[in-house]
Amino acid sequence: MTSAPRQDPAAVEAEVREKIHLEILKRTGAYHANDHVLLPSGHHTSEYIEKTLVTTEPSFTEGLGAVIAKHFAPWPIDVVLSTGHGALILSHCVARAHPSRPIAVYGIKRVVGGKRRVTLPAEFRRLIREGTKVLLVEDLVSSGRTLKLLIHLVERHGGQVVGVGCLWRRTSVVVDDTPVFSLVSRDFPTYAPEQCPLCQKGVPLNEEFVRRQHHRRPSSVQEPKPS
């Protein structure tokens, strides 16, 4: 007897859900597909997310926050912790919708002695202590570095990270031992200019996003010069 290859219904459902979430991000104007984009690294890609636009539609952010809250509803949570403007807006929506009625606090990112760090404002420090159950919320996870800093921060205060909820995660990011729930898990290929198929097809290169990042940079920060 032969059996046709069957798709796992849960996997199909997850795929459909991911498509819906991607469509929502598209409607905020944050998600660009079928483009030819110059990245800050100098590589080229066909897809791009404008992080700042992701949380600009309150009703979308609330809806997406509620989906993350629902996923983590079976776990008691005391604190929702995030860092960065977009993540903070989303974390408020997650905390609002979670049945444990957790509080929402944020860490502050800074560079100390050339190293990236996340610290808690003094007023929040007593809120994460021995045994506090913490849900981390991020908007986009692209390198996983911020998440690792947040996990260390919680552990330093004796708290326990229950999980990570985010809107978008690059599938190559691995966070050890911490369950990650992402509304969209997606990795798109990036190319060195000389190997870029879009360049070879003669598609015009969109340099807009890199230009904007340059403008945003404080003037006191100098680009490292090649020695």
What is the binding site for Zn ion (CB under 5 A)? 44, 196, 198-199
Q: How far is the CB of 187 from Zn ion (least distance, A)?
A: 18
> Which is nearer to Zn ion, 94 or 198 (by Cβ)?
198
| N- to C-terminal Cα separation, the chain | 69
Per-residue H/E/C for 78-110: CEEEEECHHHHHHHHHHHHHCCCCCEEEEEEEE
Which residue intervals of the chain are DSSP H helices?
9-27, 58-71, 85-97, 145-156, 197-200, 208-216
Q: Which residue is closest to Zn ion by CB?
A: 196
Choose between 43 and 51: whose C-beta lies nearer to Zn ion. Answer: 43
Residue 36: CB minimum distance to Zn ion, A: 6
Q: Whose Cβ is closer to Zn ion: residue 127's or residue 199's?
A: 199
Q: Which is nearer to Zn ion, 100 or 190 (CB)?
A: 190
Could you give the C-alpha distances from 194 to 43, 151, 191, 199, in angstroms and in order? 9, 38, 8, 8
Please report how close the Cβ of residue 208 comes to Zn ion at its closest, in angstroms: 14
Comparison of 44 and 133: residue with beta carbon closer to Zn ion: 44
Q: DSSP 3-state helix, strand, coil percentages of the chain (rounded to 5)?
A: 35, 25, 40
Tell the burial category of 175 from Cβ atoms under 10 Å away from its Cβ (0-12, 13-18, 19+): middle
Residue 199 near residue 44, CB atoms below 8 Å: yes
Q: How far is the CB of 47 from Zn ion (least distance, A)?
A: 13
